[in-house]
Amino acid sequence: MVIYDEIGRTYTSTRRADPRIAAQIDRALGDVSSVVNVGAGTGAYEPPTTVVAIEPSRTMIDQRPVGAAPVLCAIAESIPLEDDAVDAAMAVLTVHHWTDLERGIAEMKRVARRRVVVLTFDETVTRDFWLLRDYLPAAREYDRAHAVPMERLVAALGPCEVEAVPVPHDCVDGFAAAYWRRPAAYLDPSVRAGMSVLSRIGDAEIRRGLDRLENDIATGVWARTYADLLDLDELDAGYRLVTLDL
Is the model's pTM score more than 0.95?
no
Q: How far apart are CA 199 and CA 121, in angstroms?
A: 18
Identify which of 116, 124, 63 has the alpha carbon closest to the alpha carbon of residue 86.
116
Pairing of the two strands 239-245 and 112-121: antiparallel
Q: How far apart are CA 6 and CA 87, in angstroms?
A: 33
CB 141 within 8 A of CB 114: no
User: For residue 12, what pLDDT is reported?
Assistant: 56
User: For residue 7, what pLDDT is reported?
Assistant: 46
Spans of the chain below 70 pLDDT: 1-13
List pLDDT tens digits, range 169-224: 999 999 999 999 999 999 999 888 878 788 777 788 899 999 999 999 999 999 99
CB 14 within 8 A of CB 186: no
